[in-house]
Structure 1
Amino acid sequence: MAAFGLDKSELTIMPVDGPLSGRVTPPGSKSITNRALLLAALAKGTSHLTGALKSVDTKLMAEALRAMGVTIDEPDDTSFIVTSTGRLEAPAAPLSLGNAGTAMRFLTAAVTLVQGTVVVDGDAHMRKRPIGPLVEALRSIGIAASDASGYPPVIVHGNGAFGSGRVEIDGGLSSQYVSALLMAAAFGNGPIEVALTGSEIGARGYVDLTIAAMRAFGASVEQLDAASWRVQPTGYTATDYVIEPDASAATYLWAAEVLTGGKIDLGVASDAFTQPDAKAREVIAQFPHLPAVIDGSQMQDAIPTIAVLAAFNETPVRFVGIANLRVKECDRVAAVATELSRIRPGLGTEEGDDLIVASDPKLAGQVLSTRIETYSDHRIAMSLALAGLKIGGITILDPGCVAKTYPTYWEALKSLGVQLVE
Structure 2
Amino acid sequence: MPNSVVLLTIHGDRIDAEVQIPLSELQAAWGHAVNDSANGLVARVGPQLRDYLMKHIRPQSPDGRDWTVSVGALSVLETQNPINGMYRELVAQIRLVPPVGASSPEEAVRRFIFRYDVVLHQVVTHKILVSVRQDWARGQVSDEPPMQVGVIELDIINNRIPPLVVSLEAGSTWDGFRAMVQLGIRHISEGTDHLLFLLVLLLPAPLLVTGGPDRRLSWGEFGGIRYSFRRILMIVSAFTLGHSLTLLLGALGWIRLPGQPVEVLIALSILVSAVHAFRPLFSGRTAVSREAWVAAGFGLVHGLAFAGTLINLHLDAGPMALSILGFNLGIELMQVGIITLIIPWLLLLSQTPYYGGLRRTGAVLAGVAAIAWVIERLSGEPNAVTWVVEQMARQAWWLLGGLALLTLIGWWRLQQVKQLPFS
Greater percentage in strand: 1
TM-score for both structures, normalised by structure 1: 0.28
Pair member with larger Rg: 2
Higher relative contact order (CA closer than 8 Å, sequence separation 6+): 1
Greater percentage in helix: 2
TM-score for both structures, normalised by structure 2: 0.28
